Amino acid sequence: MVKSMSDDYQPKIIALVCNWCTYTAADLAGTSRLCYPSNIRMIRMMCTGMIDPKYILKAFLDGADGVFIGGCHPGDCHYINGNLKFKKRMAGIEAIISQFGFEEDRLRLRWIGASEGPEFQHNMTDFIQTIQNMGPSPAKGLMVL
């Protein structure tokens, strides 16, 4: 892995977030004027349960330095158990990407409820800091996609 600790390194992060909770939390963070770095590109999904591993793979191969997934707390899923289905899927995705040299820490799943604006802000800041410390993704700059 190439470590780049230069100050001008700005990680690019894709966040796949659930419409019913984390996206709403992001809205709340916005209306509450909570600040977080602008490295996050958010993609609204109807549920984490619909996140096919290929979305995560495409993000990584397209040069994302990190992928954040935000879903509802267990028991709060709008579709009963989509978040738990995704959580089960995570283990497989981690096992695959780690074989190809992506650190598992580049992929993070967190439960953030609709009312947790400050939680959202905290999670984003923390994840961006983690990725910033890790440096650019190994796929960055390669012509893989």
Partner 1 sequence: MSVYAMVKDASPTVAVKAALTKLLSQNLVDAVLVAAKSPYSALPMPTLFAEASAMDGIDPLAPAAPFNAARQAATVSRQATGKRLALVLRPCEIRALIELVKLNQCTLENVVLIGIDCLGRMENEVFLRHASALGDVTSEFQKNTSLQDDITRTCQMCEQFEPAHADIAMSTLGMAENSVLFASGSETGEALLKELGLSPAENPAQRETVTKQLREKRAACKKEVFAETSEKINSIEKFEKMIGTCLNCYNCRQACPVCYCRECVFLTDVFAARPETLLRRAQKRGSVKLPTDTTMFHLTRLSHIAHSCVGCGQCSSVCPSNIPVADIFTTVAAQVQAAYDYVPGRDVQEPIPYLIFAEKQKSGEPK
Under the rule (CB under 8 A), what is the footprint of partner 1? 53-54, 57-58, 61, 73-75, 81, 84-85, 87-96, 98-102, 109-111, 138-139, 141-145
Signed CA dihedral, 44, 50, 56, 57: sign only: negative
Q: Of 43 and 142, which CB lies nearer to partner 1 in the complex structure?
A: 142
In whole angstroms, the minimum distance from the beta carbon of 135 to partner 1 comes to: 14
CA distance 15 to 124: 9
Q: Of 75 and 118, which CB lies nearer to partner 1 in the complex structure?
A: 75
CA distance 56 to 79: 21
In whole angstroms, the minimum distance from the beta carbon of 33 to partner 1 comes to: 26
